[in-house]
């Protein structure tokens, strides 16, 4: 119908994700906000997860590991879509994408679960 608002993108991306180990970088999760899809590194654009390389304190390590495992489970739960925003890549060459399933942000779900926080444009300590 002309002029009708389009709905959310179709969830057509599907893969089985492992946890990234050593040199293997194919369909795997790096941490709570970064994963490899095929040979492309994706940074979830709307969240900031605790660092794991290296974590700055025990709390950051624990929360970061929990966020990584939860992101892996969410990505493996079925088809999703990737939506580009105003910036295509970050300074490290990672594609910046919002990850959606059924029109809902997986990043926002991780925020609601207390495993990550919304990206506000800067890194803040998880150890304070």
- Note the pLDDT tens digit of each residue in 53-93: 899 999 999 999 999 999 999 999 999 999 998 999 999 99
Our count of domains for the chain comes to: 1
Residues above pLDDT 90, as percent of the chain: 78
Judge whether 128 lies within some domain. no
Distance CA 104, CA 92 (A): 26
Judge whether 121 lies within some domain. no
* Residue 105 · residue 82 · CB < 8 Å: no
pLDDT of res. 124: 86
The number of CA neighbours under 13 Å toward the Cβ of 68 is 21
Judge whether 9 lies within some domain. no
Judge whether 37 lies within some domain. yes
Residue 125 Cα distances to 57, 58, 128, angstroms: 10, 12, 6
Judge whether 6 lies within some domain. no
Residue ranges making up the domain that contains 77: 18-114
CATH code of residue 83: 2.40.50.90
Q: What is the pLDDT of residues 37-51, one digit of tens each?
A: 999 999 999 899 999
């Amino acid at each position: 119908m002309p002029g009708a608002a389009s709905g959310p993108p179709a969830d057509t991306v599907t893969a089985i994700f492992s946890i990234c180990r050593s040199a293997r970088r194919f369909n795997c999760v790096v941490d709570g906000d970064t994963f490899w899809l095929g040979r492309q590194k994706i940074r979830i654009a709307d969240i900031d997860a605790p660092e794991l390389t290296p974590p700055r304190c025990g709390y950051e390590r624990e929360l970061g590991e929990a966020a990584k495992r939860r992101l892996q489970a969410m990505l493996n739960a079925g088809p999703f879509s990737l939506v580009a925003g105003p910036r295509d890549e970050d300074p490290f060459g990672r594609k910046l994408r919002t990850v959606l399933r059924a029109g809902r942000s997986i990043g926002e779900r991780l925020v609601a679960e207390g495993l990550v926080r919304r990206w506000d444009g800067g890194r803040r300590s998880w150890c304070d």
